[in-house]
A and B are shown apart, each in its own frame.
Chain A
Amino acid sequence: MRNCKAIGLALLLCGPLGCAHYSVNVPLQAFDEDEGYRFKNLSSPGNSEELFVVLTFSGGGTRAAALAYGVMEQLRDTRVTIGGQEKRLLDEVDVISSVSGGSFTAAYYAAFGDELFETFEHRFLKKNIERELLGVAVWSGIRLLSPTFSRTDLAAEYYGEDIFDRTTYGDLLRRGQRPFLIVNATDMTLGATFEFTQEQFDLLYSDLGAMPISRAVAASAAFPLLFSPLTLQNYTKGFDFKEPAWIPLGLSDRSIASRRYQRAQYANSYLDANQRPYVHLLDGGIADNLGTRTVVHSLATTDSSWSILRGLNLEKIKTVVVIIVNAKTESATPWDKREATPTEIDALKATVSGLQDNYTFDSAVMIQEHFDQLTRDAQVQAQCRELIQESCPGVTLPGGEGSGDVRYYSISVDFDSIEDAGKRGIFQKMKTRLYLPPDQVDALKEIAGEILSRSQKYQELVASLGGSMN
C-alpha cells in the first residue's frame, strides 16, 4: 500500500515535471551545404546586387527594439533610385544581425515584412512583456521545477505563441527573401558569438529549419540571472558531413592570423559531439552587444558564407552600407558615491555590462577602420597609377585597376549623436527592460529617425543614390 502511494505521488509530480522539456533542436536528415537557412538561398527580387546594406541591432530590451524600429521606419521613408528604378532604401537591406532586444524587431521583420509597421507596436513594443512573462511563469510554475525546462524555454514558448505566430526558420526559408536574419547569442562555454544560421547548425549536425525563431530570440535575449541559458543538442556527424575548408586551415594559422585561428578553434569545438553533446546559450550581448562581429568577419575574410569581401572581389558590390543601431545608455551607478562595498550582484552586473561596452566600442571602431583601410588601399593604387602614367605612359599595374570606385558608409545611430545634452540625458537614462511606457517608445522611434536622417554619412549616401527622405 505504501509503495502504491509512493508511485502515485511520483506520478503526480513527475507527470507535469517529466513532460516539461525544452523543445529539442532536431538532427539533420542528411547533410547538404546547399540546403537550409543560408544567405545564398534567399533571393533578392527588387534588391540590387551593387548596393549591399547591413543593419545591426544592439541589445537593450524594449529600448533597443524601439530604436531599431525607428530606423526601419526611416529606411522605409527614404526613397532612392537604383538602376533607374525608384524604391525604398528598406527594400535594399540584405542582412540584419541582431542581439537581445534588437532581435525582436529583426526577427519580426524577417518573418512578417511590412506587417512590422502595422502590428509590432501593439504586439511587442507597447506591451508589458515583463508582466506577460510573469503571468506565464505563475501559471506554468511547476514546469520550471524540471531540470530540462528553464525560464528561457518558457519565454521562448510565449514569444512563439504571442509575438511570432510559431514562425520557424523553415518558414523564413520558404518566404525566401532578404534580409538574411542573423540572431546572435553567446556560447556560454566559449564566451563567443553563436549565430542562428544553418552554417552554425551544420556544426551541430542539426536542422535549423524546424526551429521556431522565438527560440533564437529567447536565447539572444537570455540576460544572465533574469533568464537561464537555452540548451541545444549537438549531434554526432553523419558520414556525409563536410567540414568547411577554412576550419582546418584556420587551425594551422595560429601565429599568422590569430582571429581566424580563434574562430576555427570555436567552430572545431562543436565537431566532436562526444566532447560537447550539449551547447548552452546566453544573451548575445555578452560576446558582442552590437551584432557587428559577423559583419566584421564578412567584410574582412572570404571565409564567411555571406562574405562581402567576395562580393567586392567579384565586382558585384559597388556600395557597402553598415548601419549600427546602438541603444547603449550611460552607466549611471551609485557605487562611487558611497564608501560601502558594492554587493556581489553589483559586481556581477558591472562585469557583464563592462564586457558588453568594451566589445561594443571595439567592433564599431573596427568596421570604420576597415573601410578606411580599403579606401586608402584604393587611393594608393590610383595615385601609383597616375605616377606611372606620367613617367611611363601605357604601362599598367599588375592585376588590373582595382575596385577603387567602391563607396563605404558606416553609420551609427546612438544616443551620443544627440546634440542637445538635456534631450540626450533623457534617453541615456532609459531602463533596460522588456517594458517601457508608451511615450518613451514613441520618443525612441522618433529620435531614431531623427538621428539617422541628420547623419551626414546617411545624407551623403541618400544623395549618392539620387534619393530623398520624407
Chain B
Amino acid sequence: MAVEYVIVRFPQRRAVFVDDYESGVTDKKFRVGPGTHTINLGEPRDYTPKWRRPTVVHTTPLRPMEIVFEEL
C-alpha cells in the first residue's frame, strides 16, 4: 500500500491528468500508486511533450519525482 509522490512543473497552473483521470495540479505535490503512469496536462494543449510516461517508485514526500512540461 505504498504511495508515491509526484510534482509536475509547468509555468502555468493546469490540471494534471494521470492515466486519463484528473489527479492533481501543476507545481503542487500529489500522490499516485507505484508504477508506470501516463501524465499530461489539461486544456489548452500548449505544452510539450504531449505526455510523459515515468515509472514512479521509491519517492518520498520530501523527494517527489519531478515531471517537467514546457510551453510551446
Q: Do A and B bind each other?
A: yes
- Give A contacts to B, CB under 8 Å: 244-246, 249-250, 252-253, 256-257, 260, 296, 299-303, 307, 309-310, 312-314, 366, 369-370, 373-374, 377-378, 380-381, 384, 397-400, 402
- In the complex, the 3 A-B pairs of residues with the closest C-beta atoms, listed nearest first: A399-B29, A301-B33, A257-B35
- Give B contacts to A, CB under 8 Å: 1-3, 5, 7, 18-25, 27-38, 53, 55, 57, 60-62, 64
Q: What are 24 pairs between A and B in contact, CB < 8 Å? A: A245-B20, A249-B53, A250-B36, A253-B34, A253-B35, A256-B36, A256-B55, A256-B57, A260-B33, A260-B34, A296-B1, A299-B1, A300-B33, A302-B21, A309-B3, A310-B22, A313-B30, A314-B23, A369-B1, A370-B1, A378-B61, A384-B62, A399-B27, A402-B29
Residues of B within 8 A of A400 (CB): 27-29
A402 to B25, CA, bound (A): 12
Closest Cβ–Cβ distance, residue B10 to chain A (whole Å):
13
Residues of B within 8 A of A314 (CB): 22-25
> Are A313 and B35 CB-contacts (below 8 A) given A300-B1, A398-B64?
no
Closest Cβ–Cβ distance, residue B29 to chain A (whole Å):
3
> Are A302 and B33 CB-contacts (below 8 A) given A249-B38, A381-B61?
yes
A30 to B1, CA, bound (A): 36
Known: A253-B36, A300-B1, A397-B62. 19 other contacts (CB 8 A): A246-B19, A249-B35, A249-B36, A250-B35, A256-B35, A257-B34, A296-B1, A301-B33, A302-B21, A303-B19, A309-B31, A310-B21, A310-B22, A314-B25, A377-B60, A399-B7, A399-B27, A399-B64, A402-B29
Residues of A within 8 A of B61 (CB): 377-378, 380-381, 402
Closest to B62 in A: A384
Closest to A384 in B: B62
Residues of B within 8 A of A253 (CB): 34-36, 55
Q: Are B62 and A381 in contact (CB under 8 A)?
A: yes
Q: Are B29 and A373 in contact (CB under 8 A)?
A: no
Query: Of A249, A309, A397, which is within 8 A of B19 by CB?
Result: A249
Q: Are A302 and B18 in contact (CB under 8 A)?
A: yes
A300 to B21, CA, bound (A): 15
Residues of A within 8 A of B25 (CB): 314
Residues of A within 8 A of B36 (CB): 249-250, 252-253, 256
